[in-house]
């Protein structure tokens, strides 16, 4: 007879238990699925295995020198999936920093870690943006009002693609008389109001009225009804393809995708001397670090022009 042996699963280390608690807490706090996933892989698949190889099982064993070696290892040797760009290393290390910072709050601080990995300096990236003229050429190339409005909301409101797809008719409203806004359901279940120009607001209202859209219905739906007799919401791939086609038809040779319109919106805002705190709120960023890092491509002439608009009141 074949004897059956009972395999006892390995007991997780104190760090492994804390990591599981950390991720469970992230889910309990209602963080976006993608945010939790962005934390989970670096912590579970990169940091914990590295700690195990270094013989680290307790949070208190982590020192500044040790966690510094984790960052160096990623930069020099890459991760489980191969070599990593500097941007990916920064993303991984940032997730580990969030986890280690969380441990200071767990159990009344009993598991506090005395060190945190330093972020490597970011690479200077030149971000492509579209000019207002290029965006107008794309709108002129669009054959339907739906596609024109999709383009305009991405370019004039700085929405993420997921936020655009989630808009419902009831989210287009007038919070104050003469002031128009979109109620956007953003990352991390954070709602915010995004200003919308009066002319664009009126176009949206006419478009929805022409469709006789129900208040709970998605703003952007397919042009044809499905087998169930309803218009299905537009998809992410559908919008991505439409934006690519509009760029080609407008004669734009650079790579164009929905998020480039968000970058273009933010760049134009800053070039015109717009308030960076207001931009943070409009874009739905938790803090200013993302804006300061991503839009460092603005040069000193942009700073000068912005200052002159403030000091001299020029446009």
φ, ψ for residue 49 (rounded to 5)? -60, -35
For residue 285, indicate whether it is catalytic: yes
- Mark whether 224 is an active-site residue: no
Residues 255, 160: contact at Cβ < 8 Å?
A: no
**Going by DSSP bridges, is the β-strand pair 172-176/179-185 parallel, antiparallel, or unpaired?**
antiparallel
The pair of structure tokens assigned to 283 is 């874009």
Q: Is 31 helix (H, G, I), strand (E, B) or coil?
A: coil
Residue 160 among the catalytic residues: yes
Choosing from 187, 192, 244, 309, the catalytic residue is 187
Catalytic residue status for 262: yes
- Selecting among 92, 180, 201, 295, the annotated active-site residue is 295
Beta bridge partner(s), residue 181:
173, 195
CA distance 218 to 296: 35
Q: Exactly one of 69, 259, 271, 297 is catalytic; name it.
A: 259
Catalytic residue, chosen from 146, 152, 218, 262, is 262
* DSSP H or E stretch at residue 312: helix 300-312
- As given in the structure block, the two tokens for residue 90 are 């920064």
> Per the residue annotation, which of 44, 160, 183, 244 is the catalytic one?
160
What's the order of all strands across the beta sheet hosting 172-176?
172-176, 179-185, 191-195
Say which of 205, 285, 297, 309 is annotated catalytic. Answer: 285
Known catalytic residues are: 160, 187, 259, 262, 285, 295
């Amino acid at each position: 007879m074949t004897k059956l042996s009972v395999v006892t699963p390995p007991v997780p280390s104190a760090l492994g238990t804390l990591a599981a608690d950390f991720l469970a807490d992230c889910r309990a706090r209602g963080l976006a699925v993608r945010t939790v996933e962005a934390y989970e892989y670096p912590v579970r698949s990169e940091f914990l295995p590295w700690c195990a190889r270094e013989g680290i099982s307790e949070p208190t064993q982590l020192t500044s020198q040790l966690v510094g070696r984790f960052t160096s290892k990623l930069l020099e040797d890459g991760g489980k999936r191969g070599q990593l760009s500097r941007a990916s290393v920064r993303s991984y290390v940032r997730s580990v920093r969030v986890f280690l910072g969380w441990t200071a709050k767990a159990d009344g601080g009993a598991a506090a870690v005395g060190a945190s990995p330093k972020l490597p300096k970011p690479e200077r990236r030149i971000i492509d943006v579209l000019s207002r003229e290029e965006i107008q050429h794309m709108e002129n190339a669009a054959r339907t009002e739906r596609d024109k409005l999709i383009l305009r909301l991405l370019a004039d409101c700085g929405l993420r693609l997921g936020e655009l797809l989630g808009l419902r008719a009831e989210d287009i409203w007038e919070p104050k008389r003469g002031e128009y806004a979109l109620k956007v359901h953003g990352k991390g279940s954070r709602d915010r109001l995004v200003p919308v120009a009066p002319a664009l607001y009126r176009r949206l209202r006419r478009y929805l009225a022409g469709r006789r859209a129900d208040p709970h219905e998605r703003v952007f739906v397919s042009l044809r009804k499905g087998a169930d007799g309803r218009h299905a919401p537009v998809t992410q791939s559908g919008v991505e393809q439409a934006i690519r086609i509009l760029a080609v038809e407008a004669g734009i040779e650079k790579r164009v995708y929905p998020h480039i319109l968000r970058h273009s919106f933010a760049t134009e805002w800053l070039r015109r001397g717009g308030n960076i705190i207001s931009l943070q709120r409009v874009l739905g960023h938790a803090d200013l670090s993302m804006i300061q890092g991503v839009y460092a491509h603005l040069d000193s002439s942009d700073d000068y022009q912005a200052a002159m608009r403030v000091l001299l009141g020029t446009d």
